[in-house]
Copies of this chain bind each other. A is one copy, B any other.
Amino acid sequence: MEKPGYEIAILGAGNVAWHLAPALETAGHTVSCIYSRSLEHAQALAGKLTSARATNNLDLTSEAADLYILAVKDAALTELLAEARFPENSLVAHTSGTQPLSVFKANPGIRGGVFYPLQTFSKQTLVDFKEIPFCLECADENGMLLLQKTARSLSNQVSEVSSEQRKILHLAAVFASNFTNHLLGISHKIMKEGQLNFDLLQPLVTQTIAKAFGQDPFSVQTGPAVRFDENTIQTQLKALENQVTYREIYELISRSIQQQASKS
């Protein structure tokens, strides 16, 4: 693997920064600076690193770095970009799945980019960066090259993805990850109320996911809806009669499964 050894400043000390900063060090880069609105948070992350200074000052004009990574919440990005000062012509990339490249338009003195790791991060859970797809975007050719080298030093899956495609990707990820998690939450609640161990379902769910990524998931659909098994559907709806929203979800997804089955 290449070890290009860039100087990188990270703005943000949340879940993404928490995993990304040490991984960048391991890959041979120098993380020179961690900014957070909360100095305490910046210090907590900098303390895990070799030589990063912690700061809550957004004037970074004297903080020379090859790349500034903005690993902050979507809601904080515009405000951060309005307040932060970077050295002239700096390469500044955000890690968001939803924000377009044009979010940098208000900062003509810098080269904007996107450095989006397509994964869900939480502080407690270890992640293997090798397996994380990085989606990159940059209008500047040298900027893109630097983003590519940096991403490839972390991961085996690096692609260029336009803002327009990233929007589609993010919508697909909401269905595949956020909504799936909510269904698992409903399932967990049903099991708990029935005094059953949720872990009983883990082999089934793991196999369901493995099958879904082997082919078009619609083609391997199973269950009462796709069998048009009205008996079971009615029994299960009755079991949900006191949980209005879950009942609506059951009805709507069953209808959608049946619409799909009637098409193919």
Task: Report how far A207 CA is from B184 CA in the complex, Å.
Answer: 13
- A211 near B120 with CB under 8 A, answer yes
The smallest C-beta distance from A255 to any residue of chain B, in angstroms, reads 7
Task: Report how far A98 CA is from B227 CA in the complex, Å.
Answer: 13
Count of this chain's copies in the oligomeric assembly: 2
Residues of B within 8 A of A208 (CB): 120, 176-177, 180-181
Known: A74-B229, A232-B74. A187 touches B207 (CB 8 A): no
Task: Report how far A203 CA is from B120 CA in the complex, Å.
Answer: 9
The smallest C-beta distance from A133 to any residue of chain B, in angstroms, reads 5
Whether, in the assembled complex, A61 has its beta carbon less than 8 Å from a beta carbon of chain B, the answer is no
The smallest C-beta distance from A101 to any residue of chain B, in angstroms, reads 16
Residues of B within 8 A of A190 (CB): 168, 171-172, 175
- A182 near B239 with CB under 8 A, answer no
Residues of B within 8 A of A252 (CB): 245, 248-249, 252
Q: Number of A interface residues, CB 8 Å?
A: 93
Most chain B CB atoms below 10 A, which of A221, A240, A256: A256
From B184, B191, B239, A180 is in contact (CB under 8 Å) with: B184
Task: Report how far A119 CA is from B175 CA in the complex, Å.
Answer: 23
Whether, in the assembled complex, A39 has its beta carbon less than 8 Å from a beta carbon of chain B, the answer is no
From B196, B210, B236, A165 is in contact (CB under 8 Å) with: B196
**How does the 8 Å CB contact mask read for A165-208 relative to B, with 1 for contact and 0 for none?**
10111111111111111111111111101111011111111111
Task: Report how far A136 CA is from B256 CA in the complex, Å.
Answer: 33
Stretch at the interface among A85-93, A138-146, A212-220: A212-220
> Can you report 10 residue pairs joining A to B where beta carbons are below 8 Å apart?
A75-B229, A173-B187, A175-B183, A175-B187, A175-B190, A179-B223, A180-B208, A182-B221, A185-B216, A185-B217
